[in-house]
Amino acid sequence: MEKRTLGRTGRDVGVVGLGAWQLGADWGEVDESDALAVLNSAVEGGVTFIDTADVYGDGRSERLVGKVLKEHLELTVATKMGRRVEQIPSNYNLDAFRAWNDRSRENLGVDTIDLVQLHCPPTEVYSTDAVFDALDTLVQERRVAAYGVSVETCAEALTAIARPNVASVQIILNAFRLKPLDEVLPAAQRAGVGIIARVPLASGLLSGKYDENTTFGPDDHRNYNRKGEAFDVGETFSGVDFGTGLEAVKRLIPIVPEGATMAQFALRWILEQPGVSVVIPGARNPDQVRGNLGAAALAALTEGQLKAVQTVYDELIRPQIHNRW
């Protein structure tokens, strides 16, 4: 698989990674053997970058990733911290970071975490020097090799990129979320900051497999967070109203390259955006993992395909999304 350098971490990672939120909670039941099968099929298929968080299943995802990491020290594992407490800026301090880091290191079974990301903290946190001093301290103490941020908005991303030691920015980027192309990706490229593209399939919408009759279980955020009841609504279907998303997908189906799935096409589109380091589709079973890995081998998209994505975005998605995130 093609490898790219993940910003200031200096690490080279395969362009298709794995998002491990599904292995924690919030996506319906994924039992332990299925979760380990997802992780093992990813590693066997050439994935070298896995994204998790301390809050996914309250540590379950990290512990499962830790099991696989023990056997595959070549992996780069990124976790996130900060969403197990009330979301107020004063909760982001060195003592808290050390305690959260101790727990994540134990869950992952490592002394030094490859990359820790602030997990969509309150916006003021990005402008607080003491927060970044504390993150520098974690690096000095070798608790983490590098740190980055996972952001909700482009404005937050730009503030973080201006910080000298932010190694990477994780942001929603997909065919329904084009705003990062305007300023964030160019700024990250200029600064040498890595871009981790999350929610690449718009929570599954861009796989093309849902229709008007699709329902999601009570323990699935695509049911309980449709209006942002539990966390930022942008994390569920990328913030796109489900019906609008279905309509947009219908318009994209005819431009999917022959022999490719819609999911592969959607992931390939992301990989072709200059500045992207790695894309992290989430998966609930090994077939999804293997399908997503196929995106790395797809031929470059044509001008016509790229233009069609832009047109569908401009006509259907932009009014709901562009000014919000």
In the chain, what is the straight-line distance between the N-terminal and C-terminal CA atoms, in Å? 31
* Structure tokens belonging to residue 230: 């539990």
- Contact window for ligand NAP (CB under 6 A) among 16-24, 68-76, 161-169, 307-315: 16-24
The site map against ligand NAP for 61-100 (x = CB under 6 A) is -------------------x--------------------
- Contact window for ligand NAP (CB under 6 A) among 184-192, 241-249, 281-289, 298-306: 281-289
* Structure tokens belonging to residue 24: 């924690």
Binding residue (CB under 6 A) for ligand NAP from 75, 283, 296, 301: 283
Looking at the Cβ atoms of 110 and 206, the one nearer to ligand NAP is 206
Looking at the Cβ atoms of 142 and 176, the one nearer to ligand NAP is 176
Determine how many CB atoms are found less than 10 A away from the CB of residue 187: 19
Q: Which of 103, 112, 53, 55 is nearest to 80 (CA)?
A: 53
The pairs formed by 65-71 with CB atoms below 8 angstroms and a separation of 24 or more are 65/20, 65/23, 65/39, 65/108, 66/107, 66/108, 66/109, 66/110, 67/36, 67/39, 67/109, 68/36, 68/39, 68/40, 68/43, 69/108, 69/109, 69/110, 70/109
Instruction: Please report whether residue 281 would count as binding ligand NAP according to CB under 6 A.
Output: yes
The site map against ligand NAP for 162-181 (x = CB under 6 A) is --------x-----------
Work out how close the CB of 140 gets to ligand NAP at its nearest, in angstroms, rounded to a whole number: 25
74 vs 114, 159, 220, 276, CA distance in Å? 11, 32, 32, 21
Work out how close the CB of 289 gets to ligand NAP at its nearest, in angstroms, rounded to a whole number: 8
The partner residues of 144 in beta bridges, in order of sequence, read 113
Looking at the Cβ atoms of 199 and 298, the one nearer to ligand NAP is 199
Instruction: Please report whether residue 207 would count as binding ligand NAP according to CB under 6 A.
Output: yes
Binding residue (CB under 6 A) for ligand NAP from 7, 121, 239, 291: 291
Residues near ligand NAP, by CB under 6 A: 19-22, 27, 51, 80, 119-120, 150, 170, 198-204, 207, 209, 235, 263, 280-284, 288, 291-292
